[in-house]
Structure 1
Amino acid sequence: MKNILFLNVSPRQKGTSFVLLQMCMESLSKKGHKCNLMHLYPHLNDLRSLREAVGCADTLVISGPCYINTYPADTIALLEDLAGHREVLRGQNMYGIIQGGMPYPHTHENGLSMLEIFCKKCGLTYKGGFVMGLGAILNGQPITNLPNSKKIIKQLQIFFEHIDKDEESPIQVYQEARFKVPSLVYRVMAGTMNRKIDKDLKNHGIDIKRKSPYLISE
């Protein structure tokens, strides 16, 4: 039996990141592990209770959304705080879960890379993670609402088994769950998003045809 800390680093306490953590916690509780779930944002002004929980845990499972290629900035602040209190870091195993709106996993993988770097710098053991696209569609609803839900649930169970056995979870686990979008649909999506961005810029009085000041030589 392991003492596992499940840490929700999303600003939303009942969002998609929490749903994924809850699935993980339910699975591992049935295996006999002691599970503790905590939310980052209620503790932002005082991280002592989170540090204590980290110090008591054998395994850490961090779950959060992807904001501009990685976890929210407050997650980085938490990791920096832990790095400054090495007494609570004693080689724990760490797994990461990150989810975002884009359907393809490579958009969100940087978050897991950040956790891996943190582990290497601070003496923890990074064991891999799980990336899930289309998370914004759920808005905290069950995974079964996704078009590729059967694949995701199957691969999540494999990921949970790796945590149960203290095994490294390879990237192939979550890659098998990705939602495959036809190239034509990608082109339509890209065009739609670019038009929306241009419209928002114009609404803020920005000339989209003006050359970027960063490209103008003095």
Structure 2
Amino acid sequence: MKKAVIINLSPRKTGTSMMLANRCQTFLSSRDYQAEILHLYPNLKNLNPLLVAINDAQTIIMVGPCYIDTYPADTVYFLEELEKNQDVLHGQGLYGIIQGGMPYVHTHESGLNMLELFAGDYDLSYKGGFVIGMGAMLNGQPLDKLLNGKKVEHGFGLFLENVAKQEISQPNLYHHAQLRMPGLVYYLMAKMMNRRIDKQRREKGIGDQAKSPYENL
């Protein structure tokens, strides 16, 4: 039986990244895979469970949110630790899934590019990825809740087929699924999201005059 390890790069054990990780596990399990989900953040102080799983797997899938144009910062730490433990890397297929708040995909692709560059420098075979816009708005709900849900569902299904067959997945799958809207709609969406962020800041007591936590660093 083939083995796949799915690594949740999000600090959350619920939410959109975990929903996608569960989708991967369910699909691969139906295709004669032993698919295991592991979480990065609870293992940051001891990465051995992840290293062992990576060593045993033929396929690695990294799933996470886009924080400021790429995966969370601890993903970079994780890759640096993998570089120190290169003995667990022996040609496995590496796939990436990244989802973010922006509806267009180009702002999130740099996360996949980072994985591709890492795989090229070490003994991994980068086989593509999938980008999902507006993932933050889903908050763990199924993909069909997106405005472009049908296209994303179709593209993601084809991506999973590529993973199951250990084939390269092409970027056109997620580019074709991207939500396309007039610029004015993007502007109004940005205004709405900024208002929501401001409201959340006020609810948590974070005002515009709050002292920066970085001033004394």
TM-score, normalised on structure 2?
A: 0.88
Which residue number in structure 2 is paired with residue 204 of structure 1? 209
Amino acid at match of 1:109: E
Which residue number in structure 2 is paired with residue 93 of structure 1? 93
SS in 2 for 1:46: coil
The alpha-carbon distance between structure 1 residues 190 and 87, as it changes in their structure 2 partners (threshold 3 A), is: same
SS in 2 for 1:141: coil
Q: Deviations over 1:88-145 (max 9, x none)?
A: 0111100000000000000100000000011011120000000000111111122222
Q: Deviations over 1:137-195 (max 9, x none)?
A: 11112222212111111111100010111111010011111111212212334566678
Amino acid at match of 1:204: Q
Which residue number in structure 1 is paired with residue 16 of structure 2? 16
Which residue number in structure 1 is paired with residue 143 of structure 2? 143
SS in 2 for 1:176: helix
Which residue number in structure 1 is paired with residue 53 of structure 2? 53
CA RMSD of aligned residues (A): 2.2
Which residue number in structure 1 is paired with residue 81 of structure 2? 81
**Cα displacement (A) at 1:203:** 1.8
Q: Deviations over 1:186-212 (max 9, x none)?
A: 233456667899998982379xxxxxx
Q: Deviations over 1:12-39 (max 9, x none)?
A: 0111001111112111111111111111
The alpha-carbon distance between structure 1 residues 196 and 30, as it changes in their structure 2 partners (threshold 3 A), is: closer
The alpha-carbon distance between structure 1 residues 202 and 45, as it changes in their structure 2 partners (threshold 3 A), is: closer
The alpha-carbon distance between structure 1 residues 23 and 202, as it changes in their structure 2 partners (threshold 3 A), is: closer
Query: What is the distance in 1 between the residues matched to 2:89 and 2:175?
Result: 30
Q: Point out where structure 1 has 5 or more consecutive residues left out of the alignment.
A: 207-218
Amino-acid identity (%): 48
Q: Deviations over 1:53-89 (max 9, x none)?
A: 1111111000000000000011111111011011101
SS in 2 for 1:130: strand
Which residue number in structure 1 is paired with residue 170 of structure 2? 170
The alpha-carbon distance between structure 1 residues 33 and 192, as it changes in their structure 2 partners (threshold 3 A), is: closer
The alpha-carbon distance between structure 1 residues 197 and 113, as it changes in their structure 2 partners (threshold 3 A), is: same
Q: Which moved more, 1:28-37 or 1:136-145?
A: 136-145
Which residue number in structure 2 is paired with residue 154 of structure 1? 154
Q: Which moved more, 1:105-114 or 1:145-154?
A: 145-154
Which residue number in structure 2 is paired with residue 110 of structure 1? 110
Query: What is the distance in 1 between the residues matched to 2:3 and 2:155?
Result: 23
SS in 2 for 1:107: coil
SS in 2 for 1:83: helix
Which residue number in structure 1 is paired with residue 215 of structure 2? none
Q: How many residues align?
A: 206
**Which one has the largest radius of gyration?**
1
Find runs of 4+ consecutive structure 1 residues off by over 2 angstroms. Answer: 186-202
Query: What is the distance in 2 between the residues matched to 1:198 and 1:110?
Result: 27
SS in 1 for 2:63: strand
Q: Which moved more, 1:33-42 or 1:94-103?
A: 33-42
